[in-house]
């Protein structure tokens, strides 16, 4: 007997499940009343490690949790601005992209504005098991960190992706290695007056932001950026390729042959992962220029190098870096390693564990994000934001969330999941690996 029984349990109160909550309230109020979102943090906190005062979202405010699905919704970013008295100022700023901090606040406001869907904070799921009744999958039991259990017929996982720590750095003591997702709270806890040597790993937007910010956050530090690429590049911003971020492109992408999908993803990398926002690029270049002008030489950028070994040595870290042009190897000693290395492309560990529990050989989802379970079933599980291989590069982004919430909800409401065996899965061994 579980401690709580709900029809739909959504794990994680990030944008994905908040978009689902909004869709539930607007389109399925009865189900909304029997839905619960659990969140491990004490409040909705979007990107808490990277909320730099001047950081902008790279997505139009019109791609909020709902507008592309229902432009008349009360949960829109515009209504949030109106409710908080900033509508005129935002309009006057003349920008489509809000500050990251106000996106975070909008998400908090949305959660607080829900009237039917319950959100519980400080509740971390640690395990999910399928419930079988005579060979039919009939639901899920979710166990929380405090030992309590929640039973549900529908389960929606919106817990984000696992962070990526390069293999070579995994053995280092965690107290000297900071991933971008934990940057702000961990750096805030350090003394400001020490001349830390800092190595920033990576060549994309996160690494650029870390390199830029640490100069102010640890004013005496000496940062070095190490990247494999030939140098920093701005990300591609063509309006033509941006059409591939439209929710409607998900159908096209999903219907494409696996090799074609892989090619599209590779060609689209410079639009999202392998680049730096143009504004940040200018600011960074100016920082480096001024550093040279002052003769201080506090900043260093090492391009075309791989980190090939790393070890803790007393109070410092010794990195071995290899110039891939010549094979020359040298050592870089540092007090702190900041990782701008992003997220793993693999299915998150929690999803892989669940798949094992169900006995799935592959992890695949239908077009409507439902986990394919080749067994009779009256229950279903949906995966948000981890289906880039089958649903396209926008899968982890705000761009498709309003529509994805609707896709998932309609799959639940129309009962398509009851016919699991008839669904046409798209198998992606790479994603399941
Ligand atoms: C620095 C940064 C900036 C970004 N900026 C943009 C942008 O401008 N535009 C854009 O489209 N995308 C951006 N992204 C991409 C980002 O992935 C999406 O915006 C979005 O956050 C994905 O939402 P999500 O709900 O799927 O996952 P997440 O935002 O990761 O939310 C997951 C939630 O689940 C909770 N959770 C995790 N595990 C558990 C558990 N076991 N139990 C309970 N709760 C749990 C987490 O605490 C979190 O609240 C950015 C990403 C980063 C890292």
pLDDT digits 0-9 by tens, 121-174: 999 999 999 999 999 999 999 999 999 999 999 999 999 999 999 999 999 999
Are 333 and 316 in contact by the 8 Å Cβ rule? The answer is yes
Residue 253 scores a pLDDT above 60: yes
Ligand 1 geometric centre to CA of 254 (Å): 23
Q: Which pLDDT score, from 0 to 100, does residue 263 have?
A: 96
**Angle between helix 205-217 and 278-294 (nearest 10):** 40
Residues with CB under 6 A from ligand 1: 11-17, 38-41, 46-47, 50, 57-59, 124-125, 158-160, 384-385, 396-399
Q: Which pLDDT score, from 0 to 100, does residue 103 have?
A: 98
Task: State the CB neighbour count (10 A cutoff) for residue 117.
Answer: 24
- CATH superfamily placement of domain 167-235+274-339: FAD/NAD(P)-binding domain (3.50.50.60)
Q: Which pLDDT score, from 0 to 100, does residue 137 have?
A: 96
Q: Which pLDDT score, from 0 to 100, does residue 420 have?
A: 52
What gap in Å lies between CA 246 and CA 393, rounded to an integer? 10
Condensed to tens digits (0 to 9), the pLDDT of residues 381-396 reads: 999 999 999 999 999 9
Residue 425 scores a pLDDT above 60: no
Task: Output the CA–CA distances (angstroms, integers) from residue 256 to 109, 250, 252, in the order listed.
Answer: 38, 10, 6
Atom of ligand 1 nearest to the CA of 58: 8
φ, ψ of residue 361 in degrees (nearest 5): -75, -35
Q: Which pLDDT score, from 0 to 100, does residue 415 have?
A: 83
Q: Atom 31, ligand 1: which residue's CA is nearest?
A: 14
Condensed to tens digits (0 to 9), the pLDDT of residues 214-229 reads: 999 999 999 999 999 9
Are 416 and 368 in contact by the 8 Å Cβ rule? The answer is yes
Q: Which pLDDT score, from 0 to 100, does residue 146 have?
A: 97
Question: Cα torsion at 139, 142, 148, 151 (round to 10°)?
Answer: -20
Could you give the residue range(s) of every CATH 3.50.50.60 domain in the chain? 4-162+344-432, 167-235+274-339
When pLDDT is cut at 50, 70 and 90, the band that residue 237 belongs to is: confident
Gap between the terminal Cα atoms of the chain: 34
Q: Atom 5, ligand 1: which residue's CA is nearest?
A: 57
Q: Which pLDDT score, from 0 to 100, does residue 430 have?
A: 36
When pLDDT is cut at 50, 70 and 90, the band that residue 272 belongs to is: confident
Ligand 1 geometric centre to CA of 46 (Å): 6
Q: Which pLDDT score, from 0 to 100, does residue 227 have?
A: 97
Query: For a substitution probing ligand 1, which of 48, 397, 408 has the most ligand atoms within 8 Å of its CB?
Result: 397
φ, ψ of residue 85 in degrees (nearest 5): 75, 20
When pLDDT is cut at 50, 70 and 90, the band that residue 419 belongs to is: low
The CATH number for 4-162+344-432, chosen from 1.10.630.10, 3.50.50.60, 3.30.70.1230, 3.40.50.720, is 3.50.50.60
Q: Atom 41, ligand 1: which residue's CA is nearest?
A: 125
Compute the average pLDDT of residues 348-374.
Answer: 96
Query: For a substitution probing ligand 1, which of 101, 160, 178 has the most ligand atoms within 8 Å of its CB?
Result: 160
Q: Which has more pLDDT, 271 or 114?
A: 114
């Amino acid at each position: 007997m579980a401690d709580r029984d709900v029809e739909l349990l959504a794990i994680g109160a990030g944008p994905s499940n908040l978009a689902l909550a909004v869709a539930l309230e607007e389109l399925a109020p009865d189900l909304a009343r029997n839905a619960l979102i659990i969140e491990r943090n004490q409040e909705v906190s979007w990107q808490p490690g990277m909320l730099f005062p001047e950081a902008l979202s790279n997505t139009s405010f019109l791609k909020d949790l709902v507008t592309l699905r229902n432009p008349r919704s009360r949960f829109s970013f515009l209504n949030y601005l109106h409710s908080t008295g900033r509508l005129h100022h935002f309009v006057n700023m003349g920008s489509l992209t809000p500050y990251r901090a106000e996106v975070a606040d909008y998400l908090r406001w949305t959660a607080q504005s829900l009237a039917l869907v319950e959100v519980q904070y400080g509740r971390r799921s640690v395990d999910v098991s399928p419930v079988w009744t005579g060979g039919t999958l009939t639901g899920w039991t979710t166990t929380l960190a405090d030992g309590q259990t929640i039973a549900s017929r529908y389960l929606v996982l919106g817990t984000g992706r696992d962070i990526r720590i390069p293999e070579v750095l995994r053995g280092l003591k965690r107290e000297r290695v900071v991933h971008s997702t934990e940057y702000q709270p961990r750096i805030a806890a350090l003394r400001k007056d020490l001349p830390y040597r800092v190595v920033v790993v990576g060549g994309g937007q996160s690494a650029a932001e870390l390199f830029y910010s640490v100069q102010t956050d640890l004013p005496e530090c000496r940062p070095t950026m190490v990247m494999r690429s030939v140098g920093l590049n701005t990300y591609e911003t063509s309006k033509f390729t941006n059409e591939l971020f439209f929710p409607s492109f998900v159908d096209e992408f999903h219907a494409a042959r696996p090799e074609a999908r892989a090619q599209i993803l590779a060609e689209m990398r410079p639009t999202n992962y392998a680049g730096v926002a143009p504004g940040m690029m200018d600011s960074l270049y100016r920082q480096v220029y001024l550093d040279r002008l002052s003769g201080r030489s506090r900043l260093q950028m090492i391009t075309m190098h791989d980190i090939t070994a790393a070890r803790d040595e007393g109070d410092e870290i010794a990195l071995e870096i290899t110039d891939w042009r010549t094979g020359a190897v040298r050592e870089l000693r540092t007090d702190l390693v900041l990782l701008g290395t992003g997220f793993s492309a693999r299915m998150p560990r929690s999803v892989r564990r669940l798949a094992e529990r169900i006995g799935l050989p592959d992890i695949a989802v239908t077009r409507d994000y439902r986990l394919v379970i080749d067994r009779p079933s009256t229950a279903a599980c949906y995966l948000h934001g981890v289906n880039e291989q089958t649903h396209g590069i926008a899968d982890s982004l705000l761009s498709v969330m309003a529509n994805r919430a609707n896709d998932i909800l309609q799959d639940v409401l129309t009962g398509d999941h009851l016919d699991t065996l008839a669904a046409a899965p798209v198998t992606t061994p790479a994603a399941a690996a």
